[in-house]
């Protein structure tokens, strides 16, 4: 995304979903997107904002996972709270007529809850995650295993619910 293989002014519209939040240089990526965007073209961006997570029940181990994963994500150069910064990011990059919104991805059905639980339980034992968490003395292997079991049990709770916040912005190239 830092070096798109397209000529200048190639596209009328670009859309990026959950991409910029993983980049160390989102301004650089947006400048490259603007390069391949035609004049008066639009860019739409949607990225997570972990500052707006709604999780039930209020379980200490699940909350601990969220804080550990956010620290891990940040340590890899990403920004798990980029959603709230999209208006400024697009404006600073030179886009005009920037319009913003926010939304939630909601997980509440048994299938959705199981899906989220399986992903979270798998991530907590991924080697990169475990190595970085242990190296920074953020958690022990035993705590990570307890977190994994908490995620696996979570979908069975009658009040299990998750809503992940996202920021959204659309801007136009002058």
| Side-chain half-sphere CA neighbours of 135 within 13 A | 9
Report the distance separating Cα 50 and Cα 7, nearest Å: 35
DSSP H or E run through 62: helix 60-75
pLDDT in tens, 27-39: 999 999 999 999 9
Distance between CA atoms of 117 and 150, rounded to whole angstroms? Answer: 9
Element (H, E) at 86: helix 86-93
CB-based contact 174:94 (threshold 8 Å): yes
**pLDDT tens readout for residues 39-83:** 999 999 999 999 999 999 999 999 999 999 999 999 889 999 999
Write the pLDDT tens digit of every residue in 131-174.
Answer: 999 998 889 999 999 999 999 999 999 999 999 999 999 999 99
Q: Is the dihedral angle over the CA atoms 86, 90, 91, 92 positive or is it negative?
A: positive
Residue 43 near residue 33, CB atoms below 8 Å: yes
Q: How many Å apart are CA 122 and CA 108, to the nearest integer? A: 20
DSSP state of 75: H
Which whole number is the average pLDDT over 121-129? 94
Nearest to 128 by CA among 80, 77, 73: 73
């Amino acid at each position: 995304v830092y070096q798109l293989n397209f000529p200048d002014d190639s596209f009328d519209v670009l859309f990026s979903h959950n991409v910029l939040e993983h980049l160390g240089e989102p301004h650089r990526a947006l400048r490259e997107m603007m390069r391949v965007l035609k004049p008066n073209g639009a860019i739409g961006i949607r990225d997570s904002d972990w500052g707006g997570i709604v999780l039930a029940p209020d379980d200490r181990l699940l909350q601990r996972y969220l804080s550990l994963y956010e620290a891990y994500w940040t340590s890899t150069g990403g920004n798990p709270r980029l959603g709230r910064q999209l208006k400024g990011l697009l404006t600073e990059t030179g886009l005009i007529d920037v319009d913003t919104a926010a939304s939630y991805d909601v997980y509440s059905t048994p299938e959705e809850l199981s899906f989220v639980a399986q992903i979270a339980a798998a991530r907590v034992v991924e080697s990169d995650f475990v190595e970085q968490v242990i190296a920074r003395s953020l958690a022990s292997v035993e705590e990570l295993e307890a977190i994994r079991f908490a995620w696996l049990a979570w979908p069975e709770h009658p009040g299990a619910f998750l809503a992940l916040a996202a920021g959204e912005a659309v801007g136009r190239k002058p």
